[in-house]
Amino acid sequence: MGARRCSGCLSCLMIPLALWSIIVNILLYFPNGQTSYASSHKLTNYVWYFEGICFSGVMMLIVAAALLILERDTPYKCCQSENCSKKYMSLLSIIFSVLGIAFSGYCLVISALGLVQGPYCRTLNGWEYVFEDTTGSFLRDPSTWSQCLEPAHVVEWNIILFSILITLSGLQVIISLIKVIIELSKLLCTTYSVIIQVTDS
């Protein structure tokens, strides 16, 4: 019962994380609240991967909804025995949790790449990825951020939002992994108890 309650809480926690991922990803399209840069495609290319909106957002909402449905106390008659039904539900939960790891992992990787690449901004030489060849070293050197003249403070904007996306998707990966472990333990324990019952009889 405790494991089921814990598992349900983890599934519920996925929902606000997914909603925040959508919000943060949307903010990346509007540096300083301006829409002109998105309409003229003057944003970092990793923003257009929709990692927070689609994968860590909408897809994780679907995963969370599916897991919550599978964790309800309503009995499912998918097999002839109750143990078979429980194992089937656990197997489905594992599949959805693995999908959760894949979706949130995609967002984690793309956000990390976007953070390391740096923003697409206007410098004295025109619009370019001025930090692309620094392999992320610019993150530790704020004195170089002034090379980006437009949008204003776009380096800080990208660092903060991509870092939040990395944190949110990282938490989703951890939660999904814990869910896999919980469901695997339930599946193995159920199988073990069935073996013991057969042996005793």
Residues above pLDDT 90, as percent of the chain: 74
Helix (H) or strand (E) holding 9: helix 2-27
How does pLDDT run across 118-159, given as a tens digit for each residue? 999 999 999 999 999 999 999 999 999 999 999 999 999 999
Q: How confident is the model at residue 84 (pLDDT cuts 50, 70, 90)?
A: low
Name the pTM for this structure: 0.88
Structure tokens at 158: 């990208």
Say whether 182 sits in a helix, a strand or coil.
Answer: helix
Phi, psi of 173 (to 5 degrees): -60, -45
Q: How confident is the model at residue 73 (pLDDT cuts 50, 70, 90)?
A: low
Q: How confident is the model at residue 196 (pLDDT cuts 50, 70, 90)?
A: very low
How does pLDDT run across 152-181, given as a tens digit for each residue? 999 999 999 999 999 999 999 999 999 999
Whole-number Å distance between alpha carbons of 168 and 172: 6
Q: How confident is the model at residue 198 (pLDDT cuts 50, 70, 90)?
A: very low
Q: Domain boundaries in the chain?
A: 1-30+43-73+81-200
Whole-number Å distance between alpha carbons of 111 and 159: 10
Predicted confidence at residue 82, as pLDDT, reads: 58
Task: Please give the angle made by the CA atoms of 32, 35 and 36, to the nearest 5 degrees.
Answer: 105
How does pLDDT run across 31-54, given as a tens digit for each residue? 988 999 999 999 999 999 999 999
Task: Please give the angle made by the CA atoms of 79, 82 and 85, to the nearest 5 degrees.
Answer: 50
Whole-number Å distance between alpha carbons of 186 and 86: 9
Sequence-distant (6+) residues with CB within 8 A of 136 are: 115, 116
pLDDT at 86 over 90: no
Sequence-distant (6+) residues with CB within 8 A of 79 are: 85, 88
Predicted confidence at residue 124, as pLDDT, reads: 96
Phi, psi of 118 (to 5 degrees): 90, 170
Predicted confidence at residue 4, as pLDDT, reads: 58
pLDDT: is 185 or 175 the higher one? Answer: 175
Helix (H) or strand (E) holding 122: strand 121-123
